Structure 1
Amino acid sequence: MGTAKALAYMHSSDSGCIRHGSINPSNILVDHNFMPKVSRFSLSRALTIEYDYDDSVVVHMHYSDPTFIQCGLLTVKNDVYSFRIILLELITRKLSTYDEDCQLTDLVILYNKAYDSDNSGAAMFDKYITAAEDVILLEDIGKLAIECTKLGPDLRPTMKEVAERHEILKISWGKAIQGR
Structure 2
Amino acid sequence: MLVYEFISKGSLHDILHESDKREPLNLDVRLSIVVESAHGLAYMHSQAHTKILHGDVKPANILLDDNFVPKISDFGISRLIAIDKEHTANVIGDMTYMDPVYLQIGRLTEKSDVYSFGVVILEVISRKKATHSDNNSLVTSFLECHKEKKKATELFDKEIATTGNLELLDTLAGIAVGCLNLDVDQRPSMTDVVARLLTLNRSRMV
Deviates more, 1:27-36 or 1:107-116: 107-116
TM-score normalised to structure 2 length: 0.77
Equivalent residues in 2 for 1:38-57 (5 A)?
38-44=72-78, 48=83, 50-51=84-85, 53-54=87-88, 56-57=90-91
Give 4+ residue runs of structure 1 displaced > 6 Å after superposition: none
Tell me which amino acid in the other structure corresponds to 1:59: G
User: Which 5+ residue runs of structure 2 have no aligned equivalent?
Assistant: 1-34
**How many residues matched?**
171
Question: Contact 1:114–1:123 (CA<8 Å) still a contact in 2?
Answer: no
Residue of structure 2 aligned with 1:13, choices 41, 44, 47:
47
Identity %: 37
Matching of residues 72-151 of structure 1 within 5 Å:
72-98=106-132, 102-117=133-148, 119-151=150-182
1:86-136 deviation per Cα after TM superposition (whole angstroms, max 9, x unaligned): 1101111221114xxx43233221112233445322121111211110101
1:137–1:169 CA contact under 8 A, matched in 2: yes
Structure with more strand by fraction: 1
Q: TM-score, normalised by structure 1?
A: 0.88
CA distance, structure 2, for counterparts of residue 10 and residue 92 of structure 1: 27
**Given the alignment, which residue of 190, 193, 205 partners 1:159?**
190
Please list every run of 5 or more consecutive structure 1 residues that lacks an aligned counterpart in the other structure.
176-180
Tell me the residue number matched to 1:178.
none
1:62 aligns with 2:93: no
**Which residue does 1:173 correspond to in 2?**
204
Confirm or deny: 8 A CA contact 1:96 1:104 kept in the other structure. no
